[in-house]
Amino acid sequence: MDEPISRDWHAVKDHSRSWQDLLYVYPVVSRRSGGLSIGVNLNPDKRCNFDCVYCEVDRRTPPRTTLLDLEVIRAELTVLVRAARLGELARHPKFAETGELTRRIRDIAFSGDGEPTMVPNFADCIQVAADVRRAEGLDETKLVLITDAAGLDKADVKRGLEILDANHGDIWAKLDAGTEAYYRLVNRSHVRFDRILANLLMTAKVRPIAIQTLFLKVHGEAMSAGELAAYCGRLQSLLEAGARIREVQAYTIARPTPEVWATKLDPDELNTTADIIRRETGLPVSVHT
Ligand code: SF4
């Protein structure tokens, strides 16, 4: 049976995307992953095609690098995988509470300081992780893409997704709104909302995906009943059109945001929202407070 993971553990609360002198790769103990997740930051330049009001990426501090060096990513990933399996992470003070959990690598997650699908050689990056996964015998380890879905229609990204599929892949794709207006309010992207929806459909017709939704308050107001109904309607439309949605991951703000008027939901509010989504869509909803 899996060991319980406390949200109060230092290693769970600290989701910093840097580890010692590594440029691209970092360890996180994640409740959503069920243990150790090794993050790969494909956006050290901090570029994103969204500008979410709740984004926690620190864009005031200059990047340590703006380049993607695939061989450095390969080397860093290998070093961190071995450090985890040999128990070196378990002995580090940051992971004092999580101990042996850090020996088992649940996933390698493309989740950085921006949107991973924006990089021009996305498929090559995924291939590097797949190579390390195979070379290190990580048969149980998933390769996870965490994405805002804006780039899922690009040819190179589709090639990358095929590599994911062949390597115990999973996709966690963002959908924070039911209407174009709310999408513009919360995600502040120049990408059209219907492109996001079309990308979700196209991707989820090929393999099951998880939808990640961050629920928040904007100027003290949670998502309205009408917006939530529209959001559930989008999920229903995706399902009716043939999308396979494994689950909805409902979460809220965990750390300070750049916009002080973007604030978190209380656990009760998030649970009530999750109940409505379950009732309206029939989908499993996991809640991450
Ligand atoms: S998609 Fe992610 S990285 Fe991009 S602005 Fe939103 S929260 Fe930040």
Cβ-contact 194, 166 below 8 angstroms: no
What pLDDT shows up at residue 34?
Answer: 82
Q: Is the distance from CB of 284 to CB of 278 less than 8 angstroms? A: yes
The CATH number assigned to the domain holding 271 equals 3.20.20.70
pLDDT of residue 4: 66
157 contacts: CB under 8 Å, gap ≥ 6: 117, 122, 123, 151
For ligand 1, atom 8, name the residue with the nearest CA. 55
More confident residue, 139 or 3: 139
pTM: 0.93
- State if residue 114 touches ligand 1 by the CB under 6 angstroms criterion: yes
Same domain, yes or no: 130 and 153: yes
Q: How far is the CA of 21 from the centre of ligand 1 (A)?
A: 24
Q: What is the pLDDT of residues 35-64, one digit of tens each?
A: 899 999 999 999 999 999 999 898 888 888
CA atoms of 149 and 254, how far apart (whole Å):
22
* Residue 253 Cα to ligand 1 middle (Å): 12
Please tell me if the CB atom of residue 115 comes closer than 6 angstroms to any atom of ligand 1.
yes
Distance CA 181, CA 74 (A): 41
176 lines ligand 1 (CB under 6 A): no
Tokens of 179: 């209407």
The pLDDT of residue 257 is above 60: yes
Q: Are 158 and 253 in the same domain?
A: no
- Give me the pLDDT at residue 95, please: 80
Least confidently predicted of 83-87, 167-171, 277-281: 83-87
Is the Cβ–Cβ distance between 138 and 106 less than 8 Å?
Answer: no
**Which residue, of 143, 173, 203, is where some domain finishes?**
173
Query: Tell me: the pLDDT tens digits for 115-125?
Result: 999 999 999 99
Same domain, residue pair 134 and 232? no
Q: Determine the atom of ligand 1 nearest the C-alpha atom of 114.
A: 3
Give the residue, out of 15, 45, 47, 50, with the most ligand 1 atoms within 8 A of its beta carbon, to mutate for a pocket test.
50
At residue 12, the pLDDT reads 62
Same domain, 200 and 264: yes
Which is the closest atom of ligand 1 to the Cα of 112? 3
Same-domain status, 18 and 42: yes
d(Cα 13, Cα 16) in Å, to the nearest integer? 9
Looking at the structure, do residues 206 and 257 belong to the same domain, yes or no? Answer: yes
**What per-residue confidence (pLDDT) applies to 3?**
59
Using the mean position of ligand 1's atoms as its centre, give its distance from the Cα of residue 124 in Å. 22
Note whether 105 and 83 are same-domain residues: yes
> Hey, whose CA ends up nearest to atom 6 of ligand 1?
52
Do both 202 and 107 map to the same domain? no
For residues 39 and 142, membership in a common domain is answered with yes
Task: Please tell me the distance between residue 111's alpha carbon and the centre of ligand 1 in angstroms.
Answer: 10
- Helical spans, DSSP H, in 166-248: 180-187, 193-206, 225-240
Residue 145, domain extent? 1-173
Tokens of 54: 């709740």
Residue 184 and residue 168 share a domain: no
Q: Based on the structure, what is the number of domains in the chain?
A: 2
Which of 148, 173, 198 terminates a domain? The answer is 173
pLDDT tens track for 192-204: 999 999 999 999 9
Ligand 1 pocket, residue 50 CB under 6 Å: yes
- Coil, strand or helix at 184: helix
| Final residue before a domain boundary, out of 141, 173, 205 | 173
Report the distance separating Cα 106 and Cα 30, nearest Å.
9
Clarify whether residues 164 and 188 are in a common domain.
no
Q: Are residues 115 and 222 in the same domain?
A: no
Q: What is the pLDDT of residues 151-205, one digit of tens each?
A: 999 999 999 999 999 999 999 999 999 999 999 999 999 999 999 999 999 999 9
Is any atom of ligand 1 closer than 6 Å to the C-beta of 48?
A: yes
Cα–Cα distances (Å) from 139 to 36, 38, 131, 153, 169, in that order, read 15, 15, 12, 28, 11
Position 6 scores a pLDDT of 64
